[in-house]
Chains A and B, each alone.
Chain A
């Protein structure tokens, strides 16, 4: 996992599972909330991501229940999944720190429209 770039839907699914097991619909809603409405996961995309994360050992099945005649399968973050998420958070934080530091020293001449003129 570390040698591939983590895509935003994957990051959001892992983040949604960080505070406990969740079923498919709850993951879709959480991804929507966490991304402030930017990422609307489609069901096909979600289960493709869960399949892949399951094969990588980052997510595991965590039980099933039937609610109103509908099967709900729960998913949970594994220890390896938590490590990978932690690694990704550190990477994003580091990038954000560097970006903020560079913005702070941005020359005044560039802060106006057409700054190079």
Chain B
């Protein structure tokens, strides 16, 4: 029985990179078997397997992204996502100060209870994740944000169906939320003070942008407002370039962790920016070049990351595998 159980555990430990397994696998298997024996189990339990899979993936990510960078990225992403969820909820899902205009602008669409669209579910999950992180429940935060990703993907699909008919959430907003949630999963936002300050700064920045664009009026703005106008989408590009320049400056000043956190944290913004530009229908040669460069960059970094994380793709001819 123990041999079967051991085999099952060894299979689960394949989530970890081979370098880690060669160093720790036997000791971990010993502990797993001790725990199973102590609980009179002859099979691995689901929670244990999920925990091993999640830690295995984090160990793989840790091979190319140090824990301090991952934690910083997770803190920035959770703070930004929570701030965006707050703004989204108040301006695009509820907007009680603009009830009359909201009724006019969303008149021909379905409503989701008292809200404009089901984006309120994603916003609620973000708020819950943020509160859980403040209470130090990081694994529960990860589960909630994982659910937020799935809900976002499902919503993108459901919104395409004829019966949906809600005004939003747009796939740009959902994709932005999902990318932020994915980045929140790579680390632990264990510096709660920084998380609160980060959320405050992100909220203030978003409100400043909304104020600059005249959103504090008794009018309702559709949920592509943040990415909406071509002028705005073209100013986001240079802002991202400045952020990347600052990241490089930090790296050159031997503050590589801060530089890496800034650079990685720009990814959801860069993706939303690219989607907005392309959906503007203006794929000029410059934009196409930027697209190509960015895609090549992401692919190169992705391949390097996958190789360093210990994954390997083995291609065998059929007759060799027999």
Which residues of chain A have a CB within 8 Å of any CB of chain B?
A: 4-5, 7-8, 23-25, 28-29, 42-48, 51-52, 55, 64, 70-73
Give Cα distance in the complex from A10 to B58, angstroms: 17
In the complex, the answer to whether B51 meets A43 with C-beta atoms within 8 Å is yes
Cβ-defined partner of A24 (8 Å) among B34, B52, B54, B58? B34
Of chain B, the residue at the smallest CB distance from A8 is B136
The answer to whether residues A45 and B51 also contact, given A8-B136, A25-B34, A25-B35 and a CB cut-off of 8 A, is yes
In order of increasing CB-CB distance, the 4 nearest A-B pairs are: A24-B31, A44-B55, A70-B30, A25-B34
Give Cα distance in the complex from A94 to B27, angstroms: 38
Q: Which residues of B contact A51 (CB under 8 A)?
A: 59
Which residues of chain B have a CB within 8 Å of any CB of chain A?
A: 24, 26-35, 38, 47-48, 51-52, 54-56, 58-59, 67, 136, 138-139, 190-192
The answer to whether residues A5 and B191 also contact, given A46-B31, A48-B59, A72-B30 and a CB cut-off of 8 A, is yes
How many A-B pairs fall under 8 Å by CB? 71
Q: Is the interface of B mostly helix, strand, loop or mixed?
A: helix
16 further interface pairs, Cβ-Cβ under 8 Å (given A23-B31, A24-B28, A52-B67): A4-B191, A5-B191, A25-B31, A25-B35, A42-B47, A42-B48, A43-B28, A43-B48, A45-B139, A46-B31, A47-B28, A47-B31, A47-B55, A64-B27, A71-B26, A71-B27
What is the CB-to-nearest-CB distance from B20 to chain A, in angstroms, rounded to a whole number? 8
Cβ-defined partner of B192 (8 Å) among A5, A45, A71? A5
In the complex, the answer to whether A71 meets B30 with C-beta atoms within 8 Å is yes
In the complex, the answer to whether B190 meets A72 with C-beta atoms within 8 Å is no
Cβ-defined partner of A43 (8 Å) among B52, B54, B67? B52
In the complex, the answer to whether B192 meets A44 with C-beta atoms within 8 Å is no
In the complex, the answer to whether B51 meets A42 with C-beta atoms within 8 Å is yes
